[in-house]
């Protein structure tokens, strides 16, 4: 694009969105070496495993799959994989997706009895001509691919579900920060290639059959190897309504830094979601240059950042300064 046209495009976008200054890739500092970011404190363990996979010669796609598998396999994590909190009828139903540097993606939604939905999503991507499988079909496919059927409801989650059911009856779930800690991960390898993954048991006490943003390409996760990647956590309905992660990547394409892009989409969601103060939505983003961003509606969202051999949990800035 010639410079005048590019200037006009960025100006027009800026006037629509209220953001006046942009950082272009040409001006941005390139951060060397592999970088892995993932949502919440649980991301620390996922990042460690993901980095180990890269160090052992795995691809960036292997890294984002095996990294989040650690959390899916943890029965004490209430929002991902085995031990995930059930829906209103007591069923654990999982959503996940994965996307690689070749713009390929795979997804499963409303999957029961398989603790690693992100790995099933990868099989959908690699072994079928489709992107997304749901419910019974996803389960049948997973079993055909050699995944083991397991009981995902643990004694602890069953007890917690019984208690909560008495408290809230069949009402929709409380929309709060504890109800959502999906793990989303974006990684860039030493060659600069990007992949991402996202996996969750979704909102606790959700209606049976509800699917959130996490398996929806462009909502819970989006990766464009020319630009960067983004992943979402929080109230999935609000993220889907705004095509959240795709929009974060699109803003980065138009010159926003990852931080600016995350902030702008969180603000857009807050502008459009009537009851926005009562929900949590957060994004993480990583661009091709290795810059990172994170932002949420409510205070308390953290993310894990692995770079240069150091892995640390960082607080994201937020629109509301209270949790």
Under the criterion CB under 6 A, does residue 42 sit at the interface with ligand GLY? Answer: no
Under the criterion CB under 6 A, does residue 213 sit at the interface with ligand GLY? Answer: yes
Under the criterion CB under 6 A, does residue 200 sit at the interface with ligand GLY? Answer: yes
Under the criterion CB under 6 A, does residue 234 sit at the interface with ligand GLY? Answer: yes
Residues contacting 257, CB < 8 A, separation 6+: 22, 23, 28, 287, 291, 293
Beta bridge partners of 284: 231, 294
Task: Please give the positions annotated as active site.
Answer: 182
Under the criterion CB under 6 A, does residue 117 sit at the interface with ligand GLY? Answer: no
Pick the closer one to ligand GLY by CB: 22 or 210.
Answer: 210
Distance of alpha carbon 91 from its chain centroid, rounded? 22
Per residue, what are the HEC states of 70-103? HHHCCCCCCCCCCCCCCCCCCCCCEEEEEECCCC
Under the criterion CB under 6 A, does residue 203 sit at the interface with ligand GLY? Answer: yes
Smallest gap from Cβ 141 to ligand GLY, in A, equals 21
* Single residue of 116, 182, 287, 302 touching ligand GLY by CB under 6 A: 182
Under the criterion CB under 6 A, does residue 218 sit at the interface with ligand GLY? Answer: no
Smallest gap from Cβ 221 to ligand GLY, in A, equals 10
Under the criterion CB under 6 A, does residue 39 sit at the interface with ligand GLY? Answer: no
Contact region for ligand GLY (CB under 6 A) — 10-18, 61-69, 207-215, 260-268?
Answer: 207-215
Contact region for ligand GLY (CB under 6 A) — 13-21, 116-124, 156-164, 206-214?
Answer: 206-214
Tokens (6 digits) for 3 = 């410079």
Query: Which residue, among 187, 265, 174, has the nearest Cα to 229 in the 3D structure?
Result: 187
Under the criterion CB under 6 A, does residue 298 sit at the interface with ligand GLY? Answer: no
Q: What mask, x for binding ligand GLY by CB under 6 A, covers residues 243 to 272? A: ------------------------------
Smallest gap from Cβ 265 to ligand GLY, in A, equals 14
Under the criterion CB under 6 A, does residue 305 sit at the interface with ligand GLY? Answer: no
Pick the closer one to ligand GLY by CB: 233 or 296.
Answer: 233
Under the criterion CB under 6 A, does residue 233 sit at the interface with ligand GLY? Answer: yes
Pick the closer one to ligand GLY by CB: 235 or 303.
Answer: 235
Say how far apart CA 170 and CA 116 lie, in whole Å. 28
Say how far apart CA 282 and CA 16 lie, in whole Å. 22
Under the criterion CB under 6 A, does residue 296 sit at the interface with ligand GLY? Answer: no
Under the criterion CB under 6 A, does residue 212 sit at the interface with ligand GLY? Answer: yes
Under the criterion CB under 6 A, does residue 84 sit at the interface with ligand GLY? Answer: no
Under the criterion CB under 6 A, does residue 214 sit at the interface with ligand GLY? Answer: yes
Contact region for ligand GLY (CB under 6 A) — 15-23, 46-54, 165-173, 211-219?
Answer: 211-219
The residues binding ligand GLY (CB under 6 A) are 180, 182, 200, 202-203, 212-214, 233-236
């Amino acid at each position: 694009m010639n410079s005048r046209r590019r200037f006009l495009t960025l100006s027009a976008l800026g006037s629509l969105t209220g953001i006046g200054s942009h950082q272009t890739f040409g001006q941005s500092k390139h951060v060397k070496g592999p970088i892995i970011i993932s949502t919440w404190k649980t991301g620390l363990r996922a990042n460690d495993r993901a980095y180990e996979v890269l160090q052992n010669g795995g691809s960036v796609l292997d890294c984002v799959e095996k990294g989040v598998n650690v959390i899916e396999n943890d029965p004490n994590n209430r929002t991902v994989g085995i031990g995930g909190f059930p829906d209103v009828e007591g069923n654990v139903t999982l959503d996940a997706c994965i996307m690689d540097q070749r713009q390929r993606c795979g997804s499963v939604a409303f999957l029961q009895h398989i603790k690693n939905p992100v790995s099933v999503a990868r099989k959908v991507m690699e072994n079928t001509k489709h992107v997304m499988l749901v419910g019974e079909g996803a389960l049948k496919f997973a079993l055909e691919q050699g995944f083991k059927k397991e009981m995902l409801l643990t004694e602890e989650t069953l007890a917690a579900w019984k208690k909560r059911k008495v408290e809230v009856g069949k009402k929709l779930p409380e929309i709060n920060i504890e109800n959502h800690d999906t793990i989303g991960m974006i990684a860039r390898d030493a060659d600069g290639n990007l992949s991402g993954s996202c996996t969750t048991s979704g909102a606790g006490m959700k209606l049976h059959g509800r699917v959130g943003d996490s398996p929806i390409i462009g909502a819970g996760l989006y990766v464009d190897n020319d630009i960067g990647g983004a992943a979402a956590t929080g109230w999935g309905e609000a993220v889907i309504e705004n095509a959240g992660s795709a929009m974060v990547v699109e803003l980065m394409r138009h010159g926003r830094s990852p931080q600016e892009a995350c902030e702008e989409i969180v603000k857009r969601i807050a502008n459009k979601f009537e009851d926005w103060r009562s929900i949590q939505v957060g994004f993480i983003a990583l661009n091709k240059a290795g810059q990172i961003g994170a932002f949420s509606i409510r205070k308390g969202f953290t993310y894990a950042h692995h770079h240069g051999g150091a892995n640390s949990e960082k607080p994201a800035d937020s629109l509301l300064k209270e949790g």
